Structure 1
Amino acid sequence: MSIIMVLKQTLSNCVEFLSPFISYKLRKMKDRRSRVHSEQGAEDRTMESWKDNYRLGKVHIFSLFDEFLEMVIQYSFTTIFVAAFPLAPLLAFINNMLEIRLDAIKMTRLQRRLVPRKANDIGIWLQVLEGIGVLAVITNGLIIAITSDFIPRLVYKYKYGPCANNDTEIDCLTGYINQSLSIFHTNDFEKLTQVSSMVYPNTTVCRYRDYRTADEEYSYSVQFYHIFAARLVFVIVFEVSNF
């Protein structure tokens, strides 16, 4: 996301502005070399004004399409993955402030005037943005619920922590890390894997991040299902509250 929001957008702006700028300068230099130096009258100055307009870059029906597409792609990255990269909206805002000025210079000085057409709104792009908004809400809800420690911390705080037993003298998250680590007996290496238990002769148990029992089957514990249910409820409430 940082590469897309910084490097990709910077390179895109440079290419989008420098390409018509260099093309305009090259056409102007070419016409200047072929111009005959002579005293110009009013009619010649009018012709030169027409030539200046002709040297501007061509526009076509997809000129605005490219601008809309660029904004929709930026909006997609910014909203869908904002929970994973909260700095994206700020970078998008800075980029848009710069791009507004570059597009203004490009459209007024480097390209021919666009042919105006009547329209009630932005057309199909509105439905595209609405669909992206719905997808963004779903994606961010899943990112917060599944990849973060927000839900496991809440479940431990109110179900398994000291505050669950009305012991409010200490921090409610005391012992959370130890509770989130499961136990694996090293003598089970030979049963479950091809690794010999003699590889760790001085270690009897290993701790790993999961919610499993310490029996022979290492099945999911009750806490795992509590967290799973809390995550599911959080996603449903998050989706309903945003719609």
Structure 2
Amino acid sequence: MWAKRRQPLQSKFSSVNDASGLWLAALAMLMVTVLSSAAFLAPQSALLYLALANLLLLVHGLLCRGNIGGILRYIVLQLGFTLLLYVVIHGGQQLHQGAWAVARLLLALLPGWWLTVVIKPQWIGEVLAKIMPVKWAFVVAASINLLPYMTSELRDIYQLQLLRGARIAPRQLLNPLNWYELAYCVIFPLFVQLLKLAQQTATAARSRHFGSHPQPTHWRDPRSHQ
């Protein structure tokens, strides 16, 4: 999952106009698609070069004040779960394969994190609207824009459930018997919150007559015209 996005690309490229921004967004989305796909499709011998490319994106994202903490916590938790499953299934003889699987997952997530940090959501939505139906583009762009909110909600729900005494602390999650409590106390409430948010977003879109025109307008940042 992605961490909270503090400032988009405008902090570094505030003078970029909308036309140039759309080209930047399109190229960035294409690059992210290629890098994320390569994380799963590339041979293990090529992962080092892929890691170097992701390192550049990581540095750039951090310079744009992106927060990588959420991804790191997720990867550590995923690594613990994966290694535990490999121990249970294979008896600890193939732990290195589990570690490589988690490494590929990290390499697949980093480009998407970088995209949400540096590219304006309205640019993403406008680019997607040129290659897919407008309603689909709206859903995808809204989902990307909500990733920081999802991360914040997940963190808040997790902390509240810990205070209530739920057995979901990192050490307690080493016991697979507590995974059900994690799903019941954290994942399910988050899912309910997202359903409510989706309904509110749909209501807001309908109230603005979204979908009534085949070529809707897009938000323009006033600062890009100054």
User: Which structure is larger by alpha-carbon Rg, 1 or 2?
Assistant: 1
Structure ranking higher in helix proportion = 2
Structure ranking higher in strand proportion = 1
TM-score past 0.5 threshold: no
The higher relative CO (CA closer than 8 Å, separation ≥ 6) is in 2
Q: Give the structure-1-normalised TM-score.
A: 0.28
Q: Give the structure-2-normalised TM-score.
A: 0.29
